[in-house]
Structure 1
Amino acid sequence: MIKDIFFLFLKLSLLALGGGFVFIGFIELEIKKKSWDSLCDIPSLIAVSTSLPGPIITNLSYLIGKSLKGSIGGLTAILGAILPPFLIIYFLAPLLMNQGASNYFVATFLRGGIIGVMVFVLLTASRWIYSVYKMGAVSFISYILMTALMLMGIHPLFALSIGFIVNISWGGKRDIE
């Protein structure tokens, strides 16, 4: 299983141009494909990894690897996740700088990457919104309220507090599956 963990995170790191939120979308799909979702609670690990300091990819990799195969699994997952960007930067950056690659080539590559990142961020956000919608009208309204407050420039802690108060006040006590 250690080898499987390494190659999973290696593959996902190669595909996750765009950072942690793209990686989150990929990892959720891949863990379900491998039927490892019974071994680790992905939504909880995502919540913890996004609240920890540092890159989401390394935090999430370690937490998933650790829940699958202990500390060795966590370290293996981190190695798989950081190896592709390290090698790409190590070998490609000097090549682009020394060979006089045109800015047009680099800009075109990054524009294509931006489109891919936008697609995966939107897919991940739509799954999150749908899961909140399934929790009920009050949860959905508080989610929309929190998002709107943050988009208006309100501090996220204040927006989350408002959403929490709305959910507790009008949502009542509810069993979560």
Structure 2
Amino acid sequence: MYWRLFLTFVKIGTFTIGGGYAMLPLIEKEVIDRGWLDKDDFLDLFAMAQSLPGIFAVNISIFVGYKLKGIPGCIACALGTVLPSFLIILLIALSFTQVKENIWVEKIFKGLRPAVVALIVAPCITVARSLKLSYKTIAIPLVAALLIWKGGVSPVWIILVAAGAGLVYELYLKKH
């Protein structure tokens, strides 16, 4: 099972461009379609991985590995996730002078940008649908994104305000 976990996450790490959130649909498909986790467990792990500092893709792979096979599962999934990127970056670094000046490489990266945006937006929509969020609830992350993007507000402040608002809601407003 450890090899299957490792190879599954090597596949995910190899064929995902755009970072952790772009990996999310692949991770979700692999672990749910294989029956390793159900949708609710996956959403719980997703929420936990988002709330921790560090690389999202590694966080979620560690949680999946731990849920399935404990500490050895964590190691297998984390290595599987980071090894492809590490090797690719190593190869690029070794040949950087040739790659840096290649016009085709620049065009390839420009072409990948819209695909990466789509890979990040798709899991956001999937999670919103799975959680059955209302339009009012969806407005909260949109306002937060606009405050960060256009207003220059630090994400730290957004997180602190959201945590405080959640506590106030749960402790006082929800009961009344």
Could you tell me whether the CA contact under 8 Å between 1:150 and 1:156 is conserved in 2? no
Separation of aligned partners in 2, 1:39 and 1:3: 23
Q: Does 1:91 align with 2:91?
A: yes
Gaps of 5+ in 1: none
Please give the per-residue CA displacement for 1:41-99, whole angstroms capped at 9, x wherever unaligned.
111111111221211111111111111111101101111111111111112322232x3
CA gap 1:160/1:39 in 2 versus in 1, 3 angstroms: closer
Partner of 2:50: 50
DSSP 3-state at the match of 1:32? helix
CA gap 1:148/1:169 in 2 versus in 1, 3 angstroms: farther
Partner of 1:116: 115
DSSP 3-state at the match of 2:95? helix
Partner of 1:107: 106
CA gap 1:100/1:83 in 2 versus in 1, 3 angstroms: closer
Gaps of 5+ in 2: none
Could you tell me whether the CA contact under 8 Å between 1:62 and 1:77 is conserved in 2? yes
CA gap 1:39/1:73 in 2 versus in 1, 3 angstroms: farther
Separation of aligned partners in 2, 1:142 and 1:85: 35
> Which of 116, 119, 136 does residue 141 from structure 1 map onto?
136
DSSP 3-state at the match of 2:36? coil
CA gap 1:2/1:71 in 2 versus in 1, 3 angstroms: same
Separation of aligned partners in 1, 2:137 and 2:170: 6
TM-score (normalised: structure 2):
0.80
Q: Which runs of 4+ in 1 moved over 3 A?
A: 159-170
Aligned residues: percent identity? 27
Could you tell me whether the CA contact under 8 Å between 2:10 and 2:80 is conserved in 1? yes
The count of residues paired between Structure 1 and Structure 2 equals 167
Partner of 1:8: 8
CA gap 1:90/1:38 in 2 versus in 1, 3 angstroms: same
CA gap 1:25/1:168 in 2 versus in 1, 3 angstroms: farther
Query: Could you tell which deviates more after superposition, 37-46 or 107-116?
Result: 37-46
1:121-136 map, 5 Å: 121-132=120-131, 134-135=132-133
DSSP 3-state at the match of 2:35? coil
**Could you tell me how far 1:23 is from its partner in structure 2?**
1.2
Could you tell me whether the CA contact under 8 Å between 1:142 and 1:164 is conserved in 2? no
DSSP 3-state at the match of 1:151? helix
Please give the per-residue CA displacement for 1:14-40, whole angstroms capped at 9, x wherever unaligned.
122111101122111111211111498
Partner of 2:81: 81
**Could you tell me how far 1:163 is from its partner in structure 2?**
6.6
CA gap 1:109/1:168 in 2 versus in 1, 3 angstroms: farther
Partner amino acid for 1:129?
A
